[in-house]
Amino acid sequence: MLTQNLGYPRIGSQRQLKKACEQYWAGKIGQDELNRVARTIKEENWQTQLDTGIGLIPCNDFSFYDQTLDMSLLLGVIPQRYSPVLTQVPGNSEIDLYFAMARGYQKDGLDITAMEMTKWLDTNYHYIVPEFKAGQEFAISSEKVFGEYQAANKLLGQRAKPVLLGPVSYLLLGKEKEQGFERIDLIKKLVPIYVDIINRLKRLGAEWVQLDEPCLVLDLSAKEKDAFNYAYHCIANGVSGVKLLVATYFDALLDNTQLAVNLPVKALHIDLVRAPEQLDEVLALIPPNLRLSVGVVDGRNVWKNDYVRSLNLVNKAVEKLGADRVIIAPSCSLLHCPIDLELETGIDPEIRNWVAFARQKLDEIAELGQITRGNTALLDANRRAMESRRSSQKVHKQAVKSRVAAISETDTARKSAFPVRQELQHERFNFPLFPTTTIGSFPQTEDIRQLRARLKKGDLTIEQYEKAIEEATIDAIRWQEEIGIDVLVHGEFERNDMVEYFGEQLDGFLFTKNGWVQSYGSRCVKPPVIYGDVSRPQDMTVRWTKFAAAQTTREMKGMLTGPVTILQWSFVRDDQPREITANQIALAIRDEVMALEEAGISIIQIDEAAIREGLPLRKAKRPHYLDWAVRAFRITAGGVRDETQIHTHMCYSEFNDIIEHIAAMDADVITIETSRSQMELLQAFAHFEYPNEIGPGVYDIHSPRVPGTGEMVSLLARAAGLLPARNLWVNPDCGLKTRKWPETKAAIVNMVAAAKQIRELI
Ligand code: GLN
Ligand code: ZN
């Protein structure tokens, strides 16, 4: 039976790519060195997969920043505003254009904004959103995929399988930047380019080409379904002698099953981890020649594969199709997994035996293949690991389960309705109109990171470490006072990451040393692993919040991460429904909120950055998720007094379809990301007549670019045109931890000036 992989992490086991990109951006290394690092990572990845014995091995799954941006470059979808990067700056080349699109370009006398970025379906990976205009033309404009295929082919021969984002998903995941057309209608112009690309790959030797079409698991309009048919018939007619594999993942095909199985391609991949139930329908409808790639190894989580369960699915497919029409695969690209469990030396061996990272998942795919060929000895150890996890006391805690079962309706609501609270809070705080604040973190400079590294190594005592963090906090507070911010933050210098920091202090969490996963560009996160029932043994943030509050007479926000975000940005148990884990975390955060209030903190922000990204891809599944997600947030905030102001923060993403649920969270103040989309998002809030206070971000923190005051004033004016001025706050899009101090200071000073100007104007 054939095995395959769909994609492999590309950051390098020591985050070499992150480091190289950042050095390149800082002008510390040149393009040759950057390319050398990239080449080494690719070759190592290919070699690993080859050694494991995987049948079809992906290439072009590497990317310097994002594979969707790679597609935009390949297809020539390069917004006009970037041309000066090449035409006006001698010495710049394709890679500089590419990074300019990803990050904006503010040097050499140019000032160009970055392209929009958003979450990749329901993951915490971010892609650069393709921008389309009405007269959009396409043309092969980058050699990357061809070069990468040739390099892979040298090492892997026929096993090398180039990966492209398929044409329909490419269009659907993009955005119209002009009025008067629908991007899906561009399919006619786009498809011939795909034909050319695939033919070129074929001429270079490619036997298989993987086309990712994750949009096949979404609710599709008739027109979008037609586009799939049209595109793949054109491609099938235009190419010959190459096997096409269409890959779907993250959910079931459902009403798109008929469409998907009848596309004129050689193989279809389906995700049987997220949606094992879809196998029956796919098998019932599959035509005689289509091969089926069964995604049975979880590409989105870290749990060891349950071989018995996977083999049930594989065998079912084999019974119907025969072994030569079945391919064993991970559920999706392994991009979303940490790289190698071997690098984790500190994990409790009992728990470690339940876990598999990307490297180990390759072994699992290969082993499943071997078991189907008769090597059943491989089953025993796996069975024992599964049983040990099911019965372990490290996982199951009766007290936690009972407390969740006892949550009541009064636990989930504030004492009074928002208008009453708003009166009380306005009286208490007496802020000006358009109060200014930031989202929580300030730059995590190399100095700060070094402190933690030195503490871990034992080069610093805990007292020395805390003293240094206190100094950074005091500096940040003084600076905020100086420039006149209304609601201060302590800067989160003591936190490595907004989820890991809490995970480290909660029971039921495990944290890794090297379990990095790419979030966007060079930014990686190290999600904790929730393996057991969650509880909070002691205060988590009170010490630092109290310390910070004592340094100033201004208001100091307490800063917590909400339950859905902790859940969403962790690797979650797959042995109980997510909502139960969410409620366990919610109770822990609620206890922390109460402890902060008790300590005299009057404004508490509970970040729910990830609530939108947890939304099921299919509309029919959304109400249930939103019910429990909103309820979990309300549990965290439900205990405080009316005068205590609860903030929440959400990262960008479209809220249009869930605005009533955002309102149901009933936070006193919500801050959201709006600057890159020019306040577009706010229209939905206006349309809904969102009643509570809101801070639409005016500063795009994902780019080093410093926005001017005038720019921010006009964004605020636009906001004031949409929502009552008394409800508006002024803040950046998100936390500032990934930025450097100089640009942060310049931007926030401009932001405070913008708030002053808009107060005059209104
Ligand atoms: N308080 C967090 C910070 O500022 C929020 C970040 C986020 O939502 N992504 O870093
Ligand atoms: Zn954010």
Q: What pLDDT is recorded for position 654?
A: 73
For 157-194, the pLDDT digits (tens) are 999 999 999 999 999 999 999 999 999 999 999 999 99
Spatial distance between the Cα atoms of 597 and 636, rounded to a whole number of angstroms: 12
Looking at ligand 1, which atom is closest to the CA of residue 439? 4
The residue whose CA is least distant from atom 3 of ligand 1 is 735
Looking at ligand 1, which atom is closest to the CA of residue 651? 8
Q: Give percent of the chain with pLDDT exceeding 90.
A: 95
Burial 140-173 (b: 16+ CB within 10 A, else e): bbbebbbebbbbbbebbeebbbbbbbbbbbbbbb
Phi and psi angles of residue 91, each rounded to the nearest 5 degrees, phi first: 95, -20
Q: What pLDDT is recorded for position 679?
A: 86
Segments in 691-739 forming alpha helices (H): 709-722
Neighbours of 287 (CB within 10 A): 8
User: Could you tell me the distance, in angstroms and rounded to a whole number, from the CA of residue 654 to the centre of ligand 2?
Assistant: 13
**Three-class SS state of 114:** coil
Q: Tell me: pLDDT of 647 over 80.
A: yes
Q: What pLDDT is recorded for position 117?
A: 93
Kindly report the CA angle at 649 between 598 and 746, in degrees rounded to 5?
105
Q: Stretch 646-658: mean pLDDT, rounded?
A: 85
Cβ contacts of 412 within 8 Å, gap of 6 or more: 631, 634, 635, 638
Query: At 22, which amino acid appears?
Result: E
DSSP state of 708: P
Q: Identify which ligand lies nearest to the alpha carbon of 501.
A: 1
Task: Confirm or deny that 159 is annotated as ligand binding.
Answer: no
The residue whose CA is least distant from atom 10 of ligand 1 is 735
Q: Stretch 659-683: mean pLDDT, rounded?
A: 92
The residue whose CA is least distant from atom 5 of ligand 1 is 735
Q: What pLDDT is recorded for position 384?
A: 96
Residue 639, judged by CB atoms within 10 A of its CB (0-12, 13-18, 19+), counts as middle
CB 731 within 8 A of CB 672: no
For 401-429, the pLDDT digits (tens) are 999 999 999 999 999 999 999 999 999 99
Task: Confirm or deny that 223 is annotated as ligand binding.
Answer: no
Neighbours of 594 (CB within 10 A): 15
**Three-class SS state of 86:** helix
**Three-class SS state of 222:** helix
Q: Tell me: pLDDT of 632 over 90.
A: yes
- Which helix (H) or strand (E) element contains residue 612? none
Averaged pLDDT of the chain:
96
Q: Tell me: pLDDT of 652 over 70.
A: no
The residue whose CA is least distant from atom 4 of ligand 1 is 735
Q: Tell me: pLDDT of 318 over 90.
A: yes
What is the band of 613 on the pLDDT scale with cuts at 50, 70, 90? confident
Spatial distance between the Cα atoms of 554 and 437, rounded to a whole number of angstroms: 12
Burial 293-328 (b: 16+ CB within 10 A, else e): bbbbbbbbbbbbbbbeebbebbebbbebbeeebbbb
CB 698 within 8 A of CB 715: yes
Cα end-to-end span (Å), the chain = 69
Cβ contacts of 612 within 8 Å, gap of 6 or more: 119, 650, 651, 653, 654, 655, 658
User: Could you tell me the distance, in angstroms and rounded to a whole number, from the CA of residue 471 to the centre of ligand 2?
Assistant: 25
Spatial distance between the Cα atoms of 443 and 731, rounded to a whole number of angstroms: 16
690: left (phi over 0), alpha (psi -120 to 50) or beta: beta
Q: Tell me: pLDDT of 270 over 90.
A: yes
Query: At 413, which amino acid appears?
Result: A
Q: How far is CA 635 from CA 385, 584, 665, 701, in A?
A: 35, 10, 10, 30
For 544-627, list the strands marked E by DSSP: 555-561, 603-607
Spatial distance between the Cα atoms of 130 and 127, rounded to a whole number of angstroms: 9
For 90-112, the pLDDT digits (tens) are 999 999 999 999 999 999 999 99
Q: What pLDDT is recorded for position 653?
A: 64
The residue whose CA is least distant from atom 6 of ligand 1 is 735
With the most atoms of ligand 1 within 8 angstroms of its CB, the residue from 649, 669, 673 to mutate is: 649
Cβ contacts of 332 within 8 Å, gap of 6 or more: 6, 7, 247, 249, 250, 271, 295, 299, 300
Residues in a beta bridge with 672? 650, 696
Task: Confirm or deny that 524 is annotated as ligand binding.
Answer: yes
Kindly report the CA angle at 438 between 105 and 420, in degrees rounded to 5?
140
For 591-603, the pLDDT digits (tens) are 999 999 999 999 9
Q: Tell me: pLDDT of 258 over 80.
A: yes
The two three-digit tokens of residue 360, written as one number: 């180990």
Spatial distance between the Cα atoms of 311 and 155, rounded to a whole number of angstroms: 31
CB 153 within 8 A of CB 198: no
User: Could you tell me the distance, in angstroms and rounded to a whole number, from the CA of residue 524 to the centre of ligand 1?
Assistant: 14
Q: Stretch 469-489: mean pLDDT, rounded?
A: 98
Neighbours of 393 (CB within 10 A): 8
Looking at ligand 1, which atom is closest to the CA of residue 559? 1
Spatial distance between the Cα atoms of 567 and 506, rounded to a whole number of angstroms: 13
Q: Stretch 633-639: mean pLDDT, rounded?
A: 98
What is the arrangement of strands in the sheet containing 243-247, beginning at the earlier edge strand?
A: 2-3, 326-330, 291-297, 267-271, 243-247, 208-212, 160-165, 57-59
The residue whose CA is least distant from atom 9 of ligand 1 is 609
Residues in a beta bridge with 243? 208
Q: Tell me: pLDDT of 656 over 90.
A: no
Q: Tell me: pLDDT of 655 over 90.
A: no
The predicted model scores a pTM of: 0.90
**Three-class SS state of 532:** strand
Ligand 1 surroundings by CB, under 6 angstroms: 439-441, 492, 498, 559, 607, 609, 649, 651, 734-735, 737
CB 247 within 8 A of CB 7: no
With the most atoms of ligand 1 within 8 angstroms of its CB, the residue from 119, 124, 441, 523 to mutate is: 441
Task: Confirm or deny that 388 is annotated as ligand binding.
Answer: no
Tell me whether strands 693-696 and 669-672 are parallel, antiparallel or unpaired.
Answer: parallel
Burial 203-226 (b: 16+ CB within 10 A, else e): eeebbbbbbbbbbbbbebeeebbe
DSSP state of 121: T
What is the band of 449 on the pLDDT scale with cuts at 50, 70, 90? very high
Residues in a beta bridge with 164? 211
**Residue numbers annotated as active site:** 702
What is the band of 678 on the pLDDT scale with cuts at 50, 70, 90? confident
- Which helix (H) or strand (E) element contains residue 211? strand 208-212
Task: Confirm or deny that 21 is annotated as ligand binding.
Answer: no
Q: How far is CA 662 from CA 289, 425, 670, 693, in A?
A: 47, 21, 9, 12
Q: How far is CA 296 from CA 327, 365, 553, in A?
A: 10, 8, 57
Segments in 292-417 forming alpha helices (H): 307-321, 349-352, 358-372, 378-391, 398-405
Spatial distance between the Cα atoms of 751 and 712, rounded to a whole number of angstroms: 7
Looking at ligand 1, which atom is closest to the CA of residue 565? 8
Spatial distance between the Cα atoms of 335 and 357, rounded to a whole number of angstroms: 11
User: Could you tell me the distance, in angstroms and rounded to a whole number, from the CA of residue 86 to the centre of ligand 2?
Assistant: 32
Cβ contacts of 685 within 8 Å, gap of 6 or more: 655, 659, 694, 722, 723
For 581-593, the pLDDT digits (tens) are 999 999 999 999 9
Spatial distance between the Cα atoms of 13 and 37, rounded to a whole number of angstroms: 12
What is the band of 363 on the pLDDT scale with cuts at 50, 70, 90? very high
With the most atoms of ligand 1 within 8 angstroms of its CB, the residue from 498, 502, 541 to mutate is: 498
Give the ipTM of the model, two decimals please. 0.99
Q: What pLDDT is recorded for position 480?
A: 98
Q: How far is CA 271 from CA 54, 214, 345, 711, in A?
A: 18, 10, 31, 45
Task: Confirm or deny that 607 is annotated as ligand binding.
Answer: yes
